[in-house]
Chains A and B, each alone.
Chain A
Amino acid sequence: MKRNLTVKGLTALTLALAAPVAMGEVSVEEYRAMLADKDANPGFLVIDQGEALYKTKRGPKNASLEKCDFGLGPGKLKGAYAQLPRYFKDTKRVQDIESRLLTCMTTLQGFDEAEIKKKLYADQRYNESNTELEMLAAYVAYQSNGMKIAPPLKHPAEKEAQKVGEAYFWNRHGPMDFSCATCHAEDGKRVRLQGLVNVYNKKDIQATMSTWPTYRVSHGVVRNMQHRMWDCHWQMRTPDIDYGSPATVALISFLTHQAKGGTYDLPGMKR
């Protein structure tokens, strides 16, 4: 799984990003091409870091995460992310990859959830490297690379999460009167120059969901879907939405079902 970063690719990428607004047609194309150059994705380093962490005995219980059950059985990582979110009997709720990671870190390793949640995301304003949680999610997700997006929809709680998640997608609140649908329910919409995914366009949402977790060039780190949910709520001027909360999991359930049948192409690389 080791990859060599092409230094040339990365340098060009940095240069292209230095003047994003002034980019002409040609350099936009170049930028796109570089985003598609998988070997130039620094996300692979983060996946490697996540793997090492995953296999290390840590926490009050001095255990690794190797027995974590992501839905296919303890320790079965291959293809597990492709079938999330799903209902888990032990926690009696629908969980996505990150909320499930939290479960395993608390039950298997004995970490304190509140303690973990004190630092969820690397702060790009201070050039921080990825947090452990971000590295772990990147590694676990990568084990489903190349597989079809296939979240189960059998358990009543799974159906409920998808349905209520969609209703919440249309929920308008906050001082801007925004809902997710303000920005993500029509084709061809942009905020300034940033293209917006239309979650009701199958191709569009498949392209989006199949490439998370993703290396965000503007942040210099790998981001996961929980971060994107927080980020869009932050733009909506709400309070911070809680990591792994019922609302984020319901939204992610809805989005993942919209993208069903797409093929994971990980790690992604985006603006």
Chain B
Amino acid sequence: MKNHTLILSALLAGAFGSVHAAEDLSAKVDKLVASSFKPGEGQDMSRLVQDDTQKLCSKTRNNPSAKDADAINKRERATIKYPDGNKLMGDWKNGEKLVKGGFGMRIGAIEPDKADKQKGGNGGNCYACHALDPKEVAAGNIGPSLTGYGALRGASDDIVTYTYDKLYNAQATVACSSMPRMGHNGILTPAQVADITAYLVSPESPLNQK
């Protein structure tokens, strides 16, 4: 009996050892987080609480199994909300402003944003990670270049929906994407997402001029 238990646990350790190690490490990280931020005026401890997607992406270091990636895509797709009237193409001129604007939303006691900017951003901070308007040189490269996006892909319904969805929740299509879930996380409203969609897709947009 004793021997059987030993063999069984050895087998289990072989099969699940790495899973257990990852669980163990995640638990330690949770403890670390719990002891390293102090509640108080200007702090918002709820921002440290991970949702299931953040948990999985952290544990797998953005490399989820195919099954987990599928589960993430499904769950995130279900969060997508469309603007009133389902008009996914908004005003590209306003989209241009939003694309240039920063995130806002900085909190804390040391250097918080002004109260009105702590809740919502003032933009999508897209240039932090993407090239967009070919005239803007100060563009980051964490994400792919979006210059000429609409000129290259056209403005079919499929492209418009794909673009809106990507902006609203990047992980509906790419599990553990580095791109923030702009709509789902409340950085941008559905109407703002539609404006940026128009900026990316419209033939008149500066992004699509040579």
Q: A191-B129, A239-B43 are in contact. Are A176 and B36 (CB under 8 A)?
A: no
Q: How far is the CA of A16 from the CA of B28 in the complex (A)?
A: 46
Q: Do B57 and A172 touch (CB < 8 A)?
A: yes
Identify the closest chain B residue to A121 (Cβ). Answer: B110
From B47-55, B81-89, B160-168, B197-205, give the one contacting chain A: B47-55
* B109 at interface, CB cutoff 8 A: yes
Contact of A177 among B48, B140, B181 (CB under 8 A): B181
- Please name all residues of chain B whose beta carbon is closer than 8 Å to the beta carbon of A21 when the two chains form the complex: 137-138
- Interface size, A (range): 35 or more
Contact of A188 among B28, B43, B141, B187 (CB under 8 A): B141
Interface residues of B in 122-169 (CB under 8 A from A): 127-129, 137-142
* A157 at interface, CB cutoff 8 A: no
Q: Do B142 and A189 touch (CB < 8 A)?
A: yes
Interface residues of B in 11-49 (CB under 8 A from A): 25-26, 28-29, 32-33, 35-39, 42-45, 47-49
Q: Do B107 and A237 touch (CB < 8 A)?
A: yes
B29, B181, B186, B187 — most chain A CB neighbours (10 Å): B29
Q: A246-B32, A246-B36 are in contact. Are A234 and B110 (CB under 8 A)?
A: yes
Q: Do A175 and B185 touch (CB < 8 A)?
A: yes
* B64 at interface, CB cutoff 8 A: no
Q: Do B186 and A175 touch (CB < 8 A)?
A: yes
Q: Do B129 and A175 touch (CB < 8 A)?
A: no
* A28 at interface, CB cutoff 8 A: no
* B65 at interface, CB cutoff 8 A: no
Q: How far is the CA of A100 from the CA of B33 in the complex (A)?
A: 20
* A238 at interface, CB cutoff 8 A: yes
* B92 at interface, CB cutoff 8 A: no
Q: Do A168 and B33 touch (CB < 8 A)?
A: yes
Contact of B36 among A120, A125, A160, A241 (CB under 8 A): A241
In angstroms, how far is the closest chain B Cβ from the Cβ of A84?
A: 18
- Please name all residues of chain B whose beta carbon is closer than 8 Å to the beta carbon of A189 when the two chains form the complex: 140-142
Q: Do B103 and A242 touch (CB < 8 A)?
A: no
Q: A164-B32, A245-B37 are in contact. Are A239 and B44 (CB under 8 A)?
A: yes
In angstroms, how far is the closest chain B Cβ from the Cβ of A63?
A: 28
Q: A170-B58, A173-B50 are in contact. Are A239 and B32 (CB under 8 A)?
A: no
* A181 at interface, CB cutoff 8 A: yes
Q: A174-B47, A237-B47 are in contact. Are A242 and B142 (CB under 8 A)?
A: no
A-B interface, 3 closest residue pairs, ranked by CB to CB distance from nearest? A247-B36, A245-B36, A239-B43
Using A123-B111, A172-B58, A192-B128 as known contacts, list a sample of 10 further A-B pairs with CB atoms less than 8 Å apart, ordered by residue number in A. A170-B62, A171-B29, A173-B49, A192-B138, A237-B103, A238-B47, A240-B110, A246-B32, A247-B35, A248-B36
Contacts A/B (CB < 8 Å), 11 sampled: A176-B185, A183-B142, A190-B140, A191-B142, A192-B138, A239-B38, A239-B107, A240-B43, A242-B36, A247-B33, A250-B32
A residues near B (Cβ < 8 Å) are: 21, 120-121, 123, 125, 160, 163-164, 167-168, 170-179, 181-183, 188-194, 230, 234-235, 237-242, 245-248, 250
